Amino acid sequence: MKQMIEEMSQEFMTHLFPFWEGMIDRRWGGYYGKMDFDLVLHKDADKGCILNSRILWTFSTAFLVLKDPIFLSYAKQAYDFMQRAFLDRSRGGVYWSVTSEGLPSDEQKHTYNLAFAIYGLSAYYDATKDEHALRCARDLMAVIEEKCRDKEGYLESFDVSFGPYPNDRLSENGVMADRTMNTLLHVMEAYTELHRVSPSKQTEEKIKEILLLFKNKIFNPEKGRLEVFFDRDYKTLIDLHSYGHDIEASWLIDRAVSVIGAEGTDYDLSSITKTLMEKIYTEAYDGHSVPAECEEGRVLTDRIWWVQCEAVIGFINGYERTGEDKFLEASKQIWEYIGEHIVDRRKGSCWYAQVLKDGTPDPAKAIADEWTCPYHNGRMYFEVLKRLGRGEKSNGNPKNETGFQGDGLGREALAR
């Protein structure tokens, strides 16, 4: 594991983080919205709020982990652009995307998008103690609770004024979903981060409500998996096992339970998360990597970057929960696969978004775009540091921890 940590530190400090520094748009603000597979930087591409929010979270957390102010400057680049360009101050919420200059491009409002804005703002508040960032996160939570749900749970997509709008952004596999497991998972993730940095009765109760939705509506006990796409009445729309989301959910749910201190209560879903993790290990993990999903019994053979990252964390979490070395070994093998097939060694590049079954990169997938970002891989690095080695918890209270003590590697490594 020491070698794994050293390899990750080398990759992130000398390759991945410097790549995203190079994506800073110093003319219009924020970060450029696209670099294609051929490493052409599209400076005029639209900028997605999801990308901006995930960058905000990543570099805010990098500052908390590594204690180097250079990362805080990167986070501020995303924060300032969010405040200027993405927030709809008259109708509430955030735009899906803006032009390169920062004018509204796609004005639809989406619960998933709002969740990631809360996630990024919460981490930025933790890093800076900027009360305006915290107020903004709470205001966006209020928007979700007032405009993006009904009494049965969270809905998905809306027009600029929060009227009905087709959920084409978060629906796939030939269905159009009224509710998705993915959006619910990331609303929980955002509320968990907000509660961690500023605990409140409201966030605690909403997290508990979401945990019960996972328990009673999303988890399929007969198949040992989370269902993915639903109609308004939580009827599942397709036979789909999302390996990537299940392994991600296995540790995010455990973390939510821990942050609100709900272990041993009705909100403790550890038996479910253990099932999810073990199911991925036995049915999806092939000894070196994890495919993304299985639809109608057909496994998608391509390997997607974020699925590998979440599998590394999920199996480490499984090792911590069970003590079984096989899960730790799986994390190590997946990291080796990432280094061999996902990391793009071309000068000026970062990671491949997707590779084919034989390990060759998919040229149809961009290196950076509104979905391809430093969030899943950055979070993998931070979680490995916290769980396996270099960092120590900042205090003994999991409800109020940054999770790390930094080692000061940031600027020195970036300068090399």
pLDDT in tens, 308-334: 999 999 999 999 999 999 999 999 999
Domain limits, the chain: 2-415
The pLDDT-based confidence of 148 (bands split at 50, 70, 90) is very high
Angle ∠(160,167,361) on CA atoms, nearest 5 = 115
Residues 6+ positions from 8 with CB-CB distance below 8 Å: 335, 380, 381, 384, 385
Angle ∠(302,304,309) on CA atoms, nearest 5 = 140
Question: Looking at residues 382-397, what average pLDDT do you find?
Answer: 64
Instruction: Name the pTM for this structure.
Output: 0.94
Q: Cα(362)–Cα(367) distance, rounded to whole angstroms?
A: 10
Considering the chain, what is the average pLDDT of its residues? Answer: 94
User: What is the phi/psi pair of residue 346, to 5°?
Assistant: -65, 140
Q: What pLDDT sits at residue 1?
A: 86
Q: Judge whether residue 188 has pLDDT over 50.
A: yes
Q: Cα(92)–Cα(47) distance, rounded to whole angstroms?
A: 19
Q: Cα(201)–Cα(203) distance, rounded to whole angstroms?
A: 6
Angle ∠(272,266,205) on CA atoms, nearest 5 = 105
Q: What pLDDT sits at residue 398?
A: 30
CATH 3.10.580.10 correct for 2-415: no
Q: What pLDDT sits at residue 92?
A: 98
Cα torsion for 152, 156, 162, 163, to the nearest 10°?
A: -80
405: its two tokens: 């003590």
Q: Judge whether residue 7 has pLDDT over 90.
A: yes
Q: Cα(289)–Cα(303) distance, rounded to whole angstroms?
A: 7
Query: For residue range 49-72, what is the model confidence (pLDDT) as tens digits?
Result: 999 999 999 999 999 999 999 999
Q: Cα(308)–Cα(248) distance, rounded to whole angstroms?
A: 10
Q: What pLDDT sits at residue 78?
A: 98
Q: Cα(287)–Cα(311) distance, rounded to whole angstroms?
A: 12
Query: For residue range 278-318, what is the model confidence (pLDDT) as tens digits?
Result: 999 999 999 999 999 999 999 999 999 999 999 999 999 99
Q: Judge whether residue 230 has pLDDT over 50.
A: yes
Name the DSSP class of 245: H
The pLDDT-based confidence of 83 (bands split at 50, 70, 90) is very high
List the alpha helices (DSSP H) in 233-269.
243-259
Q: Judge whether residue 408 has pLDDT over 50.
A: no
> 386 near 13, Cβ under 8 Å?
no
Q: Report the percentage of the chain scoring pLDDT > 70.
A: 94
User: What is the phi/psi pair of residue 305, to 5°?
Assistant: -55, -45
Q: Judge whether residue 106 has pLDDT over 50.
A: yes
Q: Judge whether residue 174 has pLDDT over 60.
A: yes
Residues 6+ positions from 63 with CB-CB distance below 8 Å: 69, 71, 72, 75, 127
Q: Judge whether residue 93 has pLDDT over 60.
A: yes
Specify the range with the lowest mean pLDDT, choosing from 93-97, 130-134, 396-400: 396-400
- Closest among 197, 157, 138, 189 to 310, alpha carbons compared: 189
Query: For residue range 12-55, what is the model confidence (pLDDT) as tens digits?
Result: 999 999 999 999 999 999 999 999 999 999 999 999 999 999 99
